[in-house]
């Protein structure tokens, strides 16, 4: 049943584990995916949605690199929205509402089609460590399976403990047991771990809701998709709805605050600042008399509804009473109450940028074990860990993405150089090169890399090359085609833009804020009509021409900062020996152990004056 030795063993089959296993196996590494329950591979443990602000960019990057999250999201989508359309293109973020069961089904089917990938239902209790190298795993059923590398993607299962009011249950997810043994072994080996906490809202019976008093939230009229491949585009969509809490709801919730483990301090773990429980919202935003509740359907063929915005660990009877005071929920029936879960994570400063641990060669961490939150953040780490674990077995250099190259690069660099004291969530504000890292150009940034390392299949490469040919041709024509005022002035007048008095190049018109490329093309030559180009190509060219100055300025800044990266720092350098560094910088640098000045510059607590000292010391 089991190969005697694997190249890569992946522990856990959530979003990180699935992407890790798929990447490693698709690169040709003999891979084993171990999960406690084969029935919940790819389970959406929290809300049934993918993407969102900055997260949507990550999903598109995963897809551009040859990962599966975008494809699975498209195949299981029940609604698509491009968020932040009213803002600049650096902020546009795709999001899908998904069919929870179809999402997991699609993931499992994709994994089962991959050669070199085996599966085992079991629980990993300990790792086989020889010296400072990982050599396999030992499972609860007594299987000793050897491997060259191990990727741990344990999610919220490491010593997981669930809370509903004053009741406690061992487990990492509702109805599933916790994983024990790995934390204790790694701590004994010198790893630093801590506890985090997160929460989930109630799931309710949609037949018991009054949607008539809620605001309907429709999908986009012209829905797009995550993947750059030819995945299905939604022809019909399911609506979400919005309602609001009120002061009466808040008063009812306050009656249970003393019994809320997330609120009264009984859970000591670090909680998510950006996705707080309803208890935390009421306390932290006491000036607000209402909070939004997003009513999200769980799929095409189920009445189950996810009550987004009502995450709680309050006693069940308090949850029911308070939720029935929310407009539209007066007769709500519960499928299951909300609960909190606390779990172990390992400080990510103990990792290299490849996601390999510094202390144990061949051991990789990905996902919530590194202190992150969210499917997208986990999946992106799993993808890179899978790539690098496989490459390490052939002694190939690891793939490390720069901060100007991908949101995934920002995520991993933040974790490894700065660490995290709360569940890390990606935002566009974390990326200093946002206009370079748009959702529309993820393939331009990353598909050539996927092709180089062997993770881009032929059909992906063909589609990418076709798109790039269209973009090149369209850009050239726009910069060389002169527009006759008589042909375009009616459109310009309609848009409130100054009419032309003489011929100009088409590209110069696109720079005007009122002018959009696609409608403008209807007034150009026949070979420049929108029907001659894909919507993706038109959008990419429009952004590239309209924002050319901003893009160039950001690229110059990125190049300037990258000059610090080649200046290396010896692995065993004693930062305490440089007395001219601040005490905080010496402490932070000694803990993080940056390998170059670029990494050192991004460590919290290292000032510009500290960096100047390092440049003098190592720049010689």
Q: What is the largest CA-CA distance in the chain?
A: 82
Mean pLDDT of the chain: 91
Work out the burial of residue 549: count CB atoms within 10 Å of its CB; fewer than 13 is exposed, 13-18 middle, 19 or more buried.
exposed
**Residue listed under structure tokens 């890390």:** 424
Vertex 127 angle, CA 123 and 128, to 5°: 130
What is the rounded average pLDDT of the residues 142-159?
92
Q: Which residues contact 486 (CB under 8 A, 6 or more apart)?
A: none
Query: What is the spatial distance between Cα 390 and Cα 7, in angstroms, rounded to a whole number?
Result: 7
Q: Residue 274, Cβ neighbours under 10 Å: how many?
A: 12
pLDDT at 574: 92
pLDDT at 31: 97
Query: What is the spatial distance between Cα 36 and Cα 41, in angstroms, rounded to a whole number?
Result: 9
Of 198, 200, 207, 209, nearest in space to 243 by CA: 209
Give the ranges where 454-596 is alpha helix by DSSP (H). 458-480, 485-494, 506-510, 517-521, 535-546, 548-562, 583-592
pLDDT at 276: 79
**2 pLDDT higher than 80:** no
For 49-102, what is each residue's pLDDT tens digit?
A: 999 999 999 999 999 999 999 999 999 999 999 999 999 999 999 999 999 999
**Residue listed under structure tokens 């002035």:** 489
Vertex 436 angle, CA 434 and 439, to 5°: 80
SS3 content of the chain, % helix, strand, coil (to 5): 40, 20, 40
pLDDT classification of 23: cutoffs 50, 70, 90: very high
Q: Which domains does the chain have, with CATH numbers?
A: 5-201+343-453 (3.50.50.60), 458-559 (1.10.10.1800), 563-618 (1.10.150.570)
Vertex 37 angle, CA 33 and 41, to 5°: 60
**567 pLDDT higher than 90:** no
Give the ranges where 156-205 is alpha helix by DSSP (H). 182-188
Decide: helix, strand or coil at residue 551: helix
pLDDT classification of 327: cutoffs 50, 70, 90: very high
Of 304-313, 316-325, 477-486, 598-607, where does mean pLDDT reach its minimum? 598-607
Q: Residue 286, Cβ neighbours under 10 Å: how many?
A: 9
What is the rounded average pLDDT of the residues 174-199?
88
Query: What is the spatial distance between Cα 27 and Cα 241, in angstroms, rounded to a whole number?
Result: 42
- Residue 427 is classified by DSSP as -
pLDDT at 260: 73
**273 pLDDT higher than 70:** no
Query: What is the spatial distance between Cα 494 and Cα 504, in angstroms, rounded to a whole number?
Result: 19
pLDDT classification of 602: cutoffs 50, 70, 90: confident
607 against 537, higher pLDDT: 537
Query: What is the spatial distance between Cα 549 and Cα 236, in angstroms, rounded to a whole number?
Result: 39
pLDDT classification of 262: cutoffs 50, 70, 90: low
Query: What is the spatial distance between Cα 553 and Cα 558, in angstroms, rounded to a whole number?
Result: 9
Phi-psi region of 190 (alpha: psi -120 to 50; beta: other; left: phi over 0): left
Query: What is the spatial distance between Cα 259 and Cα 133, in angstroms, rounded to a whole number?
Result: 45
Query: What is the spatial distance between Cα 597 and Cα 570, in angstroms, rounded to a whole number?
Result: 11
Of 448, 439, 438, nearest in space to 468 by CA: 448
Helix (H) or strand (E) holding 198: strand 193-200
Q: Residue 254, Cβ neighbours under 10 Å: how many?
A: 17
Q: Which residues contact 15 (CB under 8 A, 6 or more apart)?
A: 42, 69, 367, 375, 376, 378, 379, 382
pLDDT classification of 267: cutoffs 50, 70, 90: low
Alpha-carbon Rg for the chain in angstroms: 26
Length of the chain: 620
Q: What proportion of the chain, given as a percentage, has pLDDT over 70?
A: 97
- Structure token pair of residue 263: 């609120």
pLDDT at 481: 87
**359 pLDDT higher than 90:** yes
Query: What is the spatial distance between Cα 370 and Cα 362, in angstroms, rounded to a whole number?
Result: 16
Of 488, 526, 485, 524, nearest in space to 502 by CA: 485
- Residue 569 is classified by DSSP as -
Of 404, 407, 374, nearest in space to 58 by CA: 407
Instruction: Answer whether 0.85 is exceeded by the pTM.
Output: yes
Of 144, 146, 104, nearest in space to 125 by CA: 144
- Structure token pair of residue 520: 């403008």
Between helix 442-453 and helix 55-64 the angle, nearest 10°, is: 40
Q: Which residues contact 150 (CB under 8 A, 6 or more apart)?
A: 8, 9, 10, 11, 127, 134, 136, 137, 362, 363, 364
Contact 197, 421 (CB under 8 A): no
**Residue listed under structure tokens 């509702």:** 174
Decide: helix, strand or coil at residue 181: coil
Query: What is the spatial distance between Cα 435 and Cα 431, in angstroms, rounded to a whole number?
Result: 9
- Structure token pair of residue 569: 């720092």
Between the CA of residue 114 and those of 67, 73, 119, what are the distances in Å? Answer: 12, 18, 11
Query: What is the spatial distance between Cα 12 and Cα 35, in angstroms, rounded to a whole number?
Result: 5
What is the rounded average pLDDT of the residues 472-477?
92
Of 130-134, 214-218, 429-433, 457-461, where does mean pLDDT reach its minimum? 429-433
Q: How far is CA 287 from the centre of its chain?
A: 32
pLDDT at 470: 94
Strands 363-365, 144-152: parallel, antiparallel or unpaired by DSSP? parallel
What is the rounded average pLDDT of the residues 249-272?
76
Within 13 Å and on the Cβ side, how many CA atoms surround 375?
28
Strands 144-152, 133-139: parallel, antiparallel or unpaired by DSSP? antiparallel
């Amino acid at each position: 049943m089991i190969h005697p030795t694997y190249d890569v063993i992946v522990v856990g089959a959530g979003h990180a584990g699935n992407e890790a296993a798929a990447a490693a196996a698709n690169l040709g590494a003999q891979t084993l995916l171990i999960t406690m329950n084969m029935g919940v591979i790819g389970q959406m443990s929290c809300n049934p949605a993918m993407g969102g602000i900055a997260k949507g960019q990550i999903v598109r990057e995963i897809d551009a690199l040859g990962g599966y999250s975008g494809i699975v999201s498209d195949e299981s989508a029940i609604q698509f929205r491009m968020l932040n359309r009213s803002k600049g293109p650096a902020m546009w973020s795709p999001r899908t509402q998904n069919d929870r069961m179809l999402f997991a089904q699609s993931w499992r089917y994709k994994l089962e089609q991959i050669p070199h990938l085996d599966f085992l239902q079991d629980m990993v209790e300990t790792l086989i460590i020889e010296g400072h190298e990982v050599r396999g795993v030992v499972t609860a059923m007594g299987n000793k399976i050897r491997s060259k590398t191990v990727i741990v993607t344990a999610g919220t299962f490491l010593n997981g403990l669930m809370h509903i009011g004053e009741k406690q249950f061992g487990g990492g997810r509702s109805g599933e047991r916790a994983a024990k043994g790995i934390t204790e072994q790694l701590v004994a080996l010198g790893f630093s771990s801590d506890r985090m906490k997160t929460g989930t809202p109630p799931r309710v019976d949609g037949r018991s809701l009054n949607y008539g008093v809620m605001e309907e939230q429709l999908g986009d009229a012209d829905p797009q998709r995550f993947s750059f491949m030819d995945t299905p585009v939604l022809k019909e969509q399911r609506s979400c709805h919005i309602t609001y809490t009120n002061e009466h709801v808040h008063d009812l919730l306050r009656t249970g605050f003393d019994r809320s483990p997330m609120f009264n301090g009984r859970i000591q773990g670090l909680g998510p600042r950006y996705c707080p429980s309803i208890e935390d919202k009421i306390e932290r935003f006491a000036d607000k008399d209402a909070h939004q509740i997003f009513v999200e359907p769980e799929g095409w063929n189920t009445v189950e509804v996810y009550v987004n915005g009502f995450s709680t660990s309050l006693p069940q009877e308090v949850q029911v009473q308070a939720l029935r005071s929310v407009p539209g929920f007066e007769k709500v029936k519960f499928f299951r109450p909300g609960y909190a879960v606390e779990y172990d994570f390992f400080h990510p400063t103990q990792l290299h940028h490849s996601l390999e641990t510094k202390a144990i060669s061949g051991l990789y961490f990905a996902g919530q074990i590194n202190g992150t939150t969210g499917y997208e953040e986990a999946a992106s780490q799993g993808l890179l860990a899978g790539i690098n674990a496989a490459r390490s077995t052939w002694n190939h250099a690891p793939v490390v993405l720069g901060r100007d190259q991908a949101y995934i690069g920002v995520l991993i660099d933040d974790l490894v150089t700065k660490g995290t004291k709360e569940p890390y969530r990606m935002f566009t504000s974390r990326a200093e090169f946002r206009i370079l890292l748009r959702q529309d150009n993820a393939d331009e940034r990353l598909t050539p890399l996927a092709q180089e390392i062997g993770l881009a299949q032929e059909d992906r490469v063909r589609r990418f090359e076709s798109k790039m040919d269209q973009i090149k041709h369209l850009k050239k024509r726009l910069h060389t085609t002169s527009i006759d005022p008589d042909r375009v002035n009616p459109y310009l007048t309609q848009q409130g833009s100054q009419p032309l008095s003489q011929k100009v190049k088409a590209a110069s018109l696109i720079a005007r804020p009122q002018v959009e490329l696609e409608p403008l093309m209807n007034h150009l030559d026949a070979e420049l009509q929108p029907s001659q180009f894909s919507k993706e190509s038109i959008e990419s060219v429009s952004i590239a021409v309209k924002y050319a100055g901003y893009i160039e300025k950001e690229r110059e800044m990125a190049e300037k900062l990258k000059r610090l990266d080649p200046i290396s720092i010896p692995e065993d350098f004693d930062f305490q020996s440089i007395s001219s560094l601040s005490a905080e910088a010496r402490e932070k640098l000694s803990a993080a152990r940056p390998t170059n000045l670029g990494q050192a510059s991004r460590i919290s607590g290292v000032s510009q004056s500290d960096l100047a000292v390092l440049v003098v010391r190592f720049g010689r």
